Amino acid sequence: MAAYTCSASDLHPLLGGGANATAAAEYICGRFEAISNKFVDTTYAVDNTFLLFSAYLVFAMQLGFAMLCAGSVRAKNTMNIMLTNVLDAATGGIFFYVFGFAFAFGTPSNGFIGKHFFGLDKIPSSGFDYGYFLFQWAFAIAAAGITSGSIAERTQFVAYLIYSSVMTGLVYPIVAHWFWCSDGWGSAARGEGLLFGSGVIDFAGSGVVHLVGAVAGFWGALIEGPRIGRFDHSGKAVPMKGHSGTLVVLGTFLLWFGWYGFNPGSFLNILKAYGESGSYYGQWSAVGRTAVTTTLAGCSAALTTLFAKRMQTGHWNVTDVCNGLLGGFAAVTGGCAVVDPWAAIICGFVAAWVLIGFNVVAEKLKYDDPLEAAQLHGGCGTWGIIFTALFAKKEYVNEVYPGLPSRPYGLFMGGGGRLLGAHVVQILSIIGWVSVTMGAVFFVLLKLDLLRISHDEEMAGLDLTSHGGMAYEYDEKNGRNQVFEATV
């Protein structure tokens, strides 16, 4: 933000033009500039506080991931899946600091990969402060957390460390550079040479975060194969329910709460007027609208899933509803800032059916994903990318991505098909890049015998064989089917 300026020579004639007028003009301008600088300082402070608070909310989603994952697996693998969530954050922190942030946002650079700010060199600067790194790190580890759910209950611990390092240090950052950095070849923030004259509008990451994590998880789960007993000898699916609906619901609510940092926080700043200052409407309004669209998409998806699964199975299933809710959030993430609330309801409704459909296909293909992560984040994330290209509103697009009045917007809103073309390119490029890189990582781990645990370990559970004890103990003394926290 530039400071307002005051010229003593311009003010001098207005004060009478005498000798005292010169001193008065210089004094007034000095006070004016001091106050102006204070406003600049306040703007930076408010915007950085907003960004830091958003980063804390997004990081809190790691707790949601941990609880959701823990509740979705069998009790004998609880400590394993929670530890992998902790290490996604810890490993991701180091690798994103050393390499990842630079690869993603190291501008000026080329369209493929960043090349500055390794180890946060030369930060803070006029373009970035530490809060921006923290916010983007929280996004990177969210992508890695999606992948961990797909390969749960059968993966060697060393494989988690390796894939998480590669994901947060290389694979995810390059995709983030493509679509979020001002130099990225597909970014809507490019100064020139926009893809299809538009660039990709993936505001908070239906593609950059959710599809990336889902494609990586898909290849990990596919290369590993299903868990023992997931399909019987005839190929029929055998239910392997998670051990705690309570943890699933707790994790879902924590993720819901964190999404208010994930989506609205992606504005990065809040103290910005649209048009003339002094109006009630500005970026603060767009932040609020984004929170509303996020909410409505999740609610719509949850209710649609509730009744759809009731018709399909005859039960009101809490786990299915929670996954449907999260699918709605994943879908609206890409377009949350540029669509109307009514469109978000449509987004969530379709996302629920997308998730249900992908789960049916997964069972038929004997694909095993304990958390439905690839189906949820990949299927719903892909729908969200397409949804944005259909329903992005011209007014909101020009507010969020200013400087190009003729920028394409949603096809169904009268904006033509160029934005849809750009988004199809995004989907194909993410699937291709992540498949080549993470598919290769998981394939090499398999060949080195570092990917899947042994038959005996899988039957006994990873908590006992890899982590020194079970997460729960049976109350043998009273002979009741009761569990309580272990002290090991």
Parts of the chain with a pLDDT under 50? 476, 479-488
pLDDT for 475: 53
pLDDT for 381: 97
pLDDT for 484: 42
**CA separation for the pair 438, 220 (Å, rounded):** 8
CATH domain 62-467 topology: Ammonium transporter fold (1.10.3430)
**CA separation for the pair 27, 163 (Å, rounded):** 62
Q: What angle do CA 336, 261, 135 make, to 5 degrees?
A: 110
* H runs (alpha helix) in 333-417: 341-364, 373, 381-391, 394-400
Residues 215, 220, 223, 227, Cα dihedral to 10°: -120
Task: Please state, as a whole number, how many other Cβ atoms lie within 10 Å of the Cβ of residue 352.
Answer: 28
pLDDT for 2: 56
pLDDT for 473: 72
Contact 406, 242 (CB under 8 A): no
Share of the chain above pLDDT 90, in %: 79
**CA separation for the pair 269, 50 (Å, rounded):** 7
Question: Structure tokens of 372?
Answer: 């439905």
**CA separation for the pair 355, 322 (Å, rounded):** 12
pTM of the model: 0.91
Give 42's Cβ-side CA count (13 Å radius).
Answer: 9
**CA separation for the pair 340, 335 (Å, rounded):** 10
pLDDT for 113: 96
**CA separation for the pair 419, 429 (Å, rounded):** 15
Q: Which of 196, 180, 191 is nearest to 411 (CA)?
A: 196
Partners of 472 in the β-ladder: 485
Task: Please state, as a whole number, how many other Cβ atoms lie within 10 Å of the Cβ of residue 377.
Answer: 34
Q: What angle do CA 424, 430, 434 make, to 5 degrees?
A: 155
Q: Where are the beta strands (DSSP E) in 208-305?
A: none
Q: What is the pLDDT of residues 392-449, one digit of tens each?
A: 999 999 999 998 888 999 999 999 999 999 999 999 999 999 999 999 999 999 999 9
pLDDT for 486: 39
